[in-house]
Amino acid sequence: MNQSVVLYSTGCPKCNVMKMKLNKANIPFVENTNVDEMISIGLKSAPALKVDDELMTFADAVKWIDQQKV
Protein backbone atom coordinates (compact mmCIF):
# COMPACT_ATOMS: atom_id res chain seq x y z
CA MET A 1 0.00 0.00 0.00
CA ASN A 2 2.06 2.90 -1.29
CA GLN A 3 0.04 6.09 -1.10
CA SER A 4 0.96 9.58 -2.17
CA VAL A 5 0.37 11.88 0.81
CA VAL A 6 0.70 15.67 0.49
CA LEU A 7 0.22 18.06 3.41
CA TYR A 8 -0.81 21.52 2.25
CA SER A 9 0.47 23.77 5.02
CA THR A 10 0.98 27.42 5.85
CA GLY A 11 2.85 26.72 9.09
CA CYS A 12 -0.15 27.66 11.23
CA PRO A 13 -0.81 25.89 14.58
CA LYS A 14 -3.35 23.51 12.96
CA CYS A 15 -0.83 22.75 10.20
CA ASN A 16 1.76 21.87 12.84
CA VAL A 17 -0.73 19.60 14.64
CA MET A 18 -1.39 17.75 11.39
CA LYS A 19 2.33 17.42 10.72
CA MET A 20 2.90 16.01 14.23
CA LYS A 21 0.05 13.52 13.80
CA LEU A 22 1.46 12.31 10.47
CA ASN A 23 4.92 11.90 11.96
CA LYS A 24 3.59 10.12 15.05
CA ALA A 25 1.65 7.70 12.84
CA ASN A 26 4.79 7.11 10.71
CA ILE A 27 2.98 8.20 7.57
CA PRO A 28 5.44 9.49 4.97
CA PHE A 29 4.31 12.75 3.41
CA VAL A 30 5.46 15.70 1.37
CA GLU A 31 4.77 19.20 2.71
CA ASN A 32 3.59 21.77 0.18
CA THR A 33 3.62 25.40 1.33
CA ASN A 34 2.89 26.98 -2.07
CA VAL A 35 -0.21 29.13 -1.43
CA ASP A 36 -0.72 29.82 -5.15
CA GLU A 37 -0.88 26.08 -5.82
CA MET A 38 -3.32 25.60 -2.91
CA ILE A 39 -5.62 28.27 -4.39
CA SER A 40 -5.31 26.75 -7.87
CA ILE A 41 -6.61 23.36 -6.65
CA GLY A 42 -9.51 25.02 -4.85
CA LEU A 43 -8.33 25.10 -1.24
CA LYS A 44 -9.86 27.86 0.84
CA SER A 45 -8.08 27.01 4.10
CA ALA A 46 -5.10 25.09 5.40
CA PRO A 47 -4.12 22.57 6.45
CA ALA A 48 -5.45 20.10 3.96
CA LEU A 49 -4.28 16.60 3.19
CA LYS A 50 -4.25 14.97 -0.23
CA VAL A 51 -4.05 11.19 -0.25
CA ASP A 52 -3.64 9.92 -3.79
CA ASP A 53 -6.46 11.88 -5.52
CA GLU A 54 -8.60 12.57 -2.42
CA LEU A 55 -8.40 16.03 -0.89
CA MET A 56 -9.38 16.24 2.79
CA THR A 57 -10.10 19.08 5.18
CA PHE A 58 -8.47 19.18 8.62
CA ALA A 59 -11.25 17.20 10.37
CA ASP A 60 -11.42 14.49 7.68
CA ALA A 61 -7.63 14.26 7.55
CA VAL A 62 -7.37 13.74 11.31
CA LYS A 63 -9.92 10.90 11.07
CA TRP A 64 -7.98 9.36 8.17
CA ILE A 65 -4.66 9.56 10.06
CA ASP A 66 -6.23 7.96 13.14
CA GLN A 67 -7.59 5.10 10.98
CA GLN A 68 -4.10 4.35 9.61
CA LYS A 69 -2.84 3.20 13.01
CA VAL A 70 -2.84 -0.57 13.08
Whether the CB-CB separation of 64 and 49 falls below 8 Å is answered with yes
Looking at residue 3, its pLDDT comes to 82
Whether the CB-CB separation of 52 and 1 falls below 8 Å is answered with no
pLDDT tens sequence across 25-67: 999 999 999 999 999 999 999 999 999 999 999 999 999 999 9
Model pTM score:
0.90
Q: How many whole angstroms separate alpha carbon 61 and alpha carbon 9? A: 13
